[in-house]
Amino acid sequence: MELTKKICLDLKTTSIPRCLKATGCFLYVLTIAALADQPSKVLPLREQYRQFAVSGNGDVANGQQIFEDKEKANCKSCHKVSGEGELVGPDLSTIGDKYSRQDLIDTILDPSANISLGYSTIVIVTTEGIIHTGILKSASTEEIVLSGTDGATIKIEIDEINQRRTSQISVMPEGTEDLISKQEFMDLISYLQDLREPALEVARSIGMPDEIGVLDKTVQLNPFHLAKHCFDQPVWISEHPVLEDVFVVLEHRTAKIWLLSKKAGRDLKMLFSDLSTEVSDGPWEGLVCIAFHPNFHQNRRYYLKHEMMEEGQRYTIVVEKLASENFLSDSGRASRQLLRIEQPADNHNGGTLLFGPDGYLYIGMGDGGPQEDPLGHSQNLGQLLGKILRIDVDQYNANHQYGIPDDNPFSDSSDPEIRREIWAVGLREPWRMSFDPLTGDLWAGDVGQVRFEEVTIIRSGENHGWNIYEGFEIFSSRYRQDETTYVSPIFTYGRKYGVSITGGYVYRGNRQSSFYGAYIFGDFESRRIWALTQDQRRLTRIRQIGQASTRIASFGVDRHGEIYLVGYDNGTIYHLDLSSTHFE
């Protein structure tokens, strides 16, 4: 805000220079904020544009010209639609699948209201007082690289940075209604709405069908608890490993762990632990997962994965904690930190940690961002980012608070730079993953970049391709290596079905159910729920089996194999009643 005031004072104006609007200059964004005392002149016009754009369909060809015209919308200077070249803002090649017409209108007229993940404005002040603004393109221990609104690359050495912060004002400027007519705005919206997934080759159709059928009768989602026991942005549910009919629920930003007792048909909600003093509260911080030691009933040890901000730097933390002797709460003893992984950006940090059938702890790590993995973290064996890690929490060595299993794929490597914790390579954002208790397969939902969300089965030593591949398609050859085998997913879906996959579980409940052996998962944003089956990691059947009324943060499973859905927005846990329909 002080920066805004200073710029406005320096400009000594109450009007907005047209040159700032046309170039998309960051000064224009700040000037708009400073002139918020004149809403009566801007907001009515904006509302007129909004209403006009929803009243009909525009000319797509003219909308493309408006998109590219530097004197008008000038979108082409920041966005690509062909999949080629560098970009400042998000790739818009499938934006029509991702957003509704109303969403497109609202995003352009009020760009700061809903900034796309990974495209927040970064403001850096150097030790010499120079201010740089732009989108984070890459970050390392040596330098930060930003992309300005003009596409120029800005490199700032770490030791030159005095202050770094994330602005809530989008780099995309406001004031589109001042630059183009209502008809031109309608045409622009129609052009963007027309940018959709192209037809795919027949060879890809096995794992990426053009159409996904919907069950005639969808599954019932039954609230699992009383409305008064709703949670605050929950992200995880699992059954308590010792206490019968008791479930563990994690709240994301409050960093609270709750017990939900269902004994004797009565709901009882009890606080297990409040970790708000050691877990950061922010959009991408907070608790994300809990895993109980296989011998929890004897040693009372459990493990948490969470995000943490310290002096402006983001970390992913994995800690070991101890429950009380009655298993109803945390013991209050200090956490033992196992892993502390520095994150270069504010996204793609992975989510799940869980114990495998072998008793080792598996940890899903995203590529760390920013968009497109520009430094190749996922393919770099010297990095823990973009990997599935596997550690032995019952052992220690001189370098770590854990042991490295002897059969980890790189445990005996002669290269000192390779991290021995790595179990699999080439993931982008494995937010949720789970083991099939019958086969031992590790299933994951890997969140995509521009076009595809992935379902995959992961095995030891495999490379799942990011960022060489996104789904079945080549994404970049920058980090491609000869003689490396890249494992394809089982199934991918495009933007018309969703934008952020939430991995689930293979159903192993009722053996007579038509869903027995099917993998059930969903999409965080579109709220769709699917079930699929596979044979030798080839898709055999996929159906949409339902749709939630809330964004899907996670799925859960109880000791009987029944599946639950975690509603992030309304704080409700649902039981999936699979007996209400038939998977066909």
Q: Domain segments of the chain: what residues?
A: 2-114+174-193, 121-167, 202-580
What pLDDT is recorded for position 32?
A: 41
| pLDDT band at residue 197 using 50, 70 and 90 as cut-offs | low
Query: Is the pLDDT assigned to residue 28 strictly greater than 70?
Result: no
What pLDDT is recorded for position 118?
A: 67
Give the model confidence (pLDDT) of 235-256 as tens digits.
999 999 999 999 999 999 999 9
- The overall average pLDDT reported for the chain is 87
Give the model confidence (pLDDT) of 450-481 as tens digits.
889 999 999 999 999 999 999 988 888 889 98
Least confident segment among 74-88, 207-221, 437-451, 540-554: 74-88
Q: Write the DSSP symbol of residue 468.
A: T
Query: Is the pLDDT assigned to residue 156 strictly greater than 70?
Result: yes
Query: Is the pLDDT assigned to residue 11 strictly greater than 60?
Result: no
Q: State the DSSP string of 105-155.
A: HHHHHSGGGSPPTT-PEEEEEETT--EEEEEEEEE-SSEEEEE-TTS-EEE
Q: Which amino acid is at 392?
A: D
Top-level class of domain 202-580: mainly beta
From CA 389, how far away is CA 331, in angstroms rounded? 27
What pLDDT is recorded for position 19?
A: 40
What pLDDT is recorded for position 530?
A: 98
Encoded tokens for 144 = 């930060």
Least confident segment among 103-117, 315-329, 396-410: 103-117
SS (H, E, C) 224-250: CCCHHHCCCCEEEEEECCCCCCEEEEE
CA distances from 39 to 34, 44, 230 (A): 11, 8, 38
What pLDDT is recorded for position 408?
A: 98
Residues 316/365, Cβ–Cβ less than 8 Å: yes
Tell me the CATH number for domain 2-114+174-193. 1.10.760
Answering whether pTM is above 0.85, one says no
Q: Hey, how many other C-beta atoms are within 10 angstroms of the C-beta on 411? A: 15
| pLDDT band at residue 117 using 50, 70 and 90 as cut-offs | low
Q: Which residue has the higher pLDDT, 313 or 484?
A: 484
Give the model confidence (pLDDT) of 57-101 as tens digits.
999 999 899 888 888 877 877 787 765 556 667 778 778 876 788
Residue whose token pair is 């120029």:
152
Query: Is the pLDDT assigned to residue 24 strictly greater than 60?
Result: no
Q: Any idea what the Cα angle at residue 424 is, between residues 520 and 496, rounded to 5°?
A: 40
Query: Is the pLDDT assigned to residue 16 strictly greater than 90?
Result: no
What pLDDT is recorded for position 229?
A: 96
Query: Is the pLDDT assigned to residue 322 strictly greater than 80?
Result: yes
CB-based burial label for 296 (10 Å; 0-12, 13-18, 19+): middle
Q: Hey, how many other C-beta atoms are within 10 angstroms of the C-beta on 166? A: 15
Query: Is the pLDDT assigned to residue 325 strictly greater than 50?
Result: yes
What pLDDT is recorded for position 174?
A: 84
Q: Which residue has the higher pLDDT, 474 or 574?
A: 574
Tell me the CATH number for domain 121-167. 2.30.30.100
From CA 263, how far away is CA 259, in angstroms rounded? 12
Q: Which residue has the higher pLDDT, 392 or 194?
A: 392
What pLDDT is recorded for position 87?
A: 64
Give the model confidence (pLDDT) of 390-443 as tens digits.
999 999 888 899 999 999 999 999 999 999 999 999 999 999 999 999 999 999
Please list, in sequence order, all residues whose beta carbon lies within 8 angstroms of the beta carbon of residue 24, skipping any fewer than 6 positions away.
74, 77, 78, 149, 150, 171, 172, 173
Pairing of the two strands 301-310 and 121-126: unpaired
From CA 375, how far away is CA 144, in angstroms rounded? 12
What pLDDT is recorded for position 83?
A: 55
In what side-by-side order are the strands of the sheet with 256-261?
234-239, 246-251, 256-261, 268-274
